[in-house]
Amino acid sequence: MSGLWLPVMRKTHSGNGYSPFTLGRPTFPKIIHALQEPAFDIGPLIARAVSAESEEQDDHEGDDEADHDPLDDARDEPPAPLLGLDQGHPFPPPKQLDPLPPVTANPKPAAILKPAASPKPRPGPQRSSMKAEKVAKAAEKAQKVRTASHNRRRAKHARDLTTHGHLPSPATVSAIVRPAAPLRTELNASALPTAFGAYSGKLEDKVEKRGSKVRRSVADLIGLGFQLVKWDGITPRPLLDKNGRIIAVLAGRPNHAKYLESANFAFRTIRDAGAAENFPAAMRHHRRGLFAAMNVGLFYGKGQRFPCWLNNKGYTTLADGLLGDCHIQRLACFADAAFALWAPRLYRYYRDNDAGLRRHMSFRRPFVGSIFACAAFNFGPNVWTFKHRDVLNLAFGWCAVNALGEFDATTGGHLVLEDLKLVVEFPHGTLILLPSATVAHSNVPVQAGEERVSFTQFTPGGIFRFVDNGGQTVDELAERNPSEYDRIMARKAARWEEGLSLLSTLDELLPEE
């Protein structure tokens, strides 16, 4: 049979023979010799095996040939083994194959399976990521340091504010006071009406009260000889008497959005609080005007043995809510800072009185950041005051007045200073400091449809008298210490001029260059 490879015996150089069929099988040499005979023919063996397989397959085919799978039989009975030339030594049976899939009309190509990629080793932290992590940790540490430092500064500031109040630096004084354009008047402050001892203003007489409730416009006041002061509500302007003393200040407001936002919130809070209450007539009709008003804080008047917190009765919750409002607190603190800036000696006098009162009793002020002992809320919706003096305030002391609302400050809401013959534009969110016990003042009403409220701070003059008397009433002082009583009474005659001397001049405020 041509083309058939047959194993042959080979020899090495030493003469030894070898063949693959001689490895441990003694019968293989016989097969080799038989296959090497020239008369050997493998064809009949193959033909016989093919015929036997065909006959076996024909025995299993029937009428249901189309429904029968011939591979089922192959799975049950393996075919007879092929016999070799040497009967008794059959070839091992062929390995059975799985059936082929059926052929379709349009076979889809089998998906090419890509060998699974070996998992890459997890990379270690890259240099850039490690650097970014270090930078982030350093930034976090720096932020913690800044936060701790900020908290320490805030705590120190709170302690200093409680002990010393607002103390503007020379740079702040120079930056605010130097560019301020003063408004000089012909007022003689010494001639202002005051009670003996200057602890309070002088009550108005009938002549002064006559016509005080008349509603006047800006044009009416100009016709009566008043000077119109146009003011943007931001730039400070000190008002000087004829001796150059700063008798009052158009203090304005900080020129940034946060403060104006607080003024807006404070206005809505006071307006809405007033609108939600049903105030009695006694709180809506009084000597200062026809609007609901409420005083809150520490007060001392005739008949009291010592200063005490005002009893707001059914409006205590309302009062506490207003005092606790953060936006109103911001306005109160700015008033305190402006007071310390424009009248540092008078401000120190207030703080000394506060410390003296604490030696006799424990108390609280309406606002932690403000030296004033009492506050007044005028609810509106259209607050305009009659001509009046707040005579229970300290005669030479200052009152802080905040105007709040939605109105055109050029057409209404002006502050009228009767003794200075001025009518001043008073925009929303701004502050004016004035001696309300001795300088008569009023307001121009705002226009129809507009709203205006106000918020003021002051300290009753009686508290100063209580401290000067050693924490007791005048009668108690006279009974317990007659010599001290005589000294106090002798000093009262000069107290008014002493009080005016606490006011500053521009030359005193500006630091030397």
3-state secondary structure 33-93: HHHCCCCCCCHHHHHHHHHHHHHHHHHHCCCCHHHCCHHHHHHHCCCCCCCCCCCCCCCCC
Query: At 61, phi and psi to the nearest 5?
Result: -85, 135
In sequence order, what are the residues at sequence separation of 6 or more whose Cβ sits closer than 8 angstroms to the Cβ of residue 398?
Answer: 248, 339, 343, 346, 433, 434, 435, 436
CA 428 – CA 253 distance, rounded (Å) = 10
| Cα end-to-end distance, the chain, whole Å | 129
Task: From 449, 30, 442, select the one nearest 216 (Cα to Cα).
Answer: 442
Strand 227-229 versus strand 237-240 pairing type: unpaired
Q: How long a stretch of residues is the chain?
A: 513
Rounded to the nearest 10 degrees, what angle do helices 316-323 and 257-275 cross at?
170
Strands (E), 172-245: 183-184, 227-229, 237-240
Peptide bond into 381 cis (omega under 30): yes
Strand 422-424 versus strand 227-229 pairing type: parallel
Which uninterrupted H or E stretch holds 432?
A: strand 431-434
Partner residues linked to 219 by β-bridges:
none
What are the tokens at 370?
Answer: 């403000």
What does the pLDDT profile of the chain (513 residues) look like in tens digits?
445 555 556 666 666 665 555 544 454 455 555 555 555 566 666 666 656 655 555 444 444 444 444 434 434 444 444 333 344 444 445 445 455 555 555 555 545 555 555 565 565 556 667 888 888 888 888 888 888 888 888 787 777 777 677 889 899 999 999 999 999 999 999 999 999 999 999 987 766 665 578 889 999 999 999 999 999 999 999 999 999 999 999 999 999 999 999 999 999 999 999 999 999 998 998 888 899 999 999 999 888 999 999 999 999 999 999 999 999 999 999 999 999 999 999 999 999 999 999 999 999 999 999 999 999 999 989 999 999 999 999 999 999 999 999 999 999 999 999 999 999 999 999 999 999 999 999 999 999 999 999 999 999 999 999 999 999 999 999 999 999 999 999 999 999 999 999 999 999 998 776
What pLDDT does residue 134 have? 86
**Exposed / middle / buried, residue 286 (Cβ in 10 Å: 0-12, 13-18, 19+):** middle
Task: From 489, 498, 512, select the one nearest 196 (Cα to Cα).
Answer: 489
What are the tokens at 340?
Answer: 């310390």
Q: Which residue has the tokens 């075919």?
A: 79
What are the tokens at 376?
Answer: 């007044």
Q: What is the dihedral of CA 147, 151, 154, 156, to 10 degrees?
A: -130
What pLDDT does residue 130 have? 80
How many CB atoms sit inside 10 A of residue 254's CB? 17
How many CB atoms sit inside 10 A of residue 442's CB? 23
Q: Identify the DSSP state of 499.
A: H
CA 119 – CA 368 distance, rounded (Å) = 68
What pLDDT does residue 81 have? 41
Domains, the chain, with CATH or none: 152-509 (3.60.130.30)
What are the tokens at 221?
Answer: 């006041």
Task: From 505, 432, 378, select the one nearest 253 (Cα to Cα).
Answer: 432
Tell me, what amino acid is at 342? W
What pLDDT does residue 42 have? 62
The SS3 call for residue 495 is helix
Region of 456 (left: φ > 0; alpha: ψ -120 to 50; beta: rest) is beta
Strands (E), 124-257: 183-184, 227-229, 237-240, 246-252
